[in-house]
Amino acid sequence: MRIGVLTGGGDCPGLNAAIRGVVKKALQLGWSVVGIHDGWAGLVQGRVEPMTEYSIAGILARGGTILGTSRTNPFKKDGDVQRCQDNMQRFGIDALVAIGGEDTLGVAEKFSKIGLKVVGVPKTIDNDLSGTDYTFGFDTAVFIATDAIDRCKTTAEAHRRVMVVEVMGRHAGWIATFAGIAGGADVILIPEQPFDIDEVCEAVQRRHKRGKLFSLVVVAEGAHPKEGQLVLQAEKTDSFGHARLGGIGNLVGAEIEKRTGIETRVTILGHVQRGGIPTATDRIRATRLAVAAVELLEQGKYGYMTGIHGNDIGAVPLHEAVSKIKTVTPQFFKVAEVFFG
């Protein structure tokens, strides 16, 4: 068998570990592998390269993706689906391993419906894919965010300030919740629970009355006030209809300073959370999920995504994996609320 592997959507630490896992397992089976450049765009345009042991040498600890990525949706442009199918035939690709999040695997699911042999590997720093307890990339993003929160906390204490740290999380606040708990945040704001800015300010003032002269507020980029709209960085959307978010941290920071009179500074982490070397946990998760994806192909089990369930790796139908966003469950947020009320 000859298989193709691609990485799509936003990059994250662990993608190269996943690519390595796919290639290693495929070569062990005596198969050949081609890498598809820049996600679905590469399959549309026919940009591929043979993958060998040499191709994956030394990439386990590298951030980003050696294959490149894009937010291309072949189902949005006339002729692109047929081009993908033609290029599969042209390069002799029997089956595909698509490594990505909701959008990339949504495309994989559509291709599966029309007969392509495809399996998915779940990656996203947002950890918002259904059908898996964790996605790779999430652990590294939480580690980076927690480190930033720790650093902001010491300077907030030194200057008696409020520090607002904005982290990624469009529709799900997993990073904000985990990093906020790990970093000892005094307030955590997530998309799942629209916030009342008055309550945020009251929480800050209560701390000051108790002699805690600094506060740390962690806010997910998709968090929004009650009866409010998302704060958009730009109105332009990508091919999956997503607007670019960012700016809620600045809004929250300005309101806190105006209402409390306490000097407030804002730090927006942005793509820092996507970059750099993956943690050991993400390297292991990516490797296990990728190897299992090739095993699905070996079993002739197409149209599935590999997923983590407890300590085990299982298979989830792609349509189930992308049918809904996995949001923060109350059990996690209740732990956070113990500390900020």
Residue 60 and residue 204: Cα distance in Å, rounded? 43
Q: Is the dihedral of CA 66, 22, 86, 301 positive or negative?
A: negative
Closest CA to 101 of 121, 74, 75, 73: 121
Q: For residue 288, what are its two tokens?
A: 């296990």
Take residue 303 and report the two structure tokens written for it: 């149209």
Amino acid at 153: K
Distance CA 282, CA 333 (A): 23
* Distance (Å, whole) CA 99 – CA 117: 14
Asked if 333 and 190 count as a contact pair (C-beta separation under 8 A), the reply is yes
Q: Cα(first)–Cα(last) distance of the chain, in Å?
A: 57
d(CA 220, CA 170): 7
* Token reading at 341: 């009320």
Catalytic residue among 38, 126, 139, 186: 126
- CA 288 vs. chain centroid, Å, equals 18
139 is catalytic: no
Q: Which two tokens stand for residue 253?
A: 């920071």
Q: How far lies 216's CA from each of 167, 186, 339, in Å?
A: 13, 5, 12
Helices (H), ranges, the chain: 15-28, 40-45, 80-90, 102-113, 138-159, 174-183, 197-209, 248-260, 280-298, 318-321, 330-340
Catalytic residues: 126
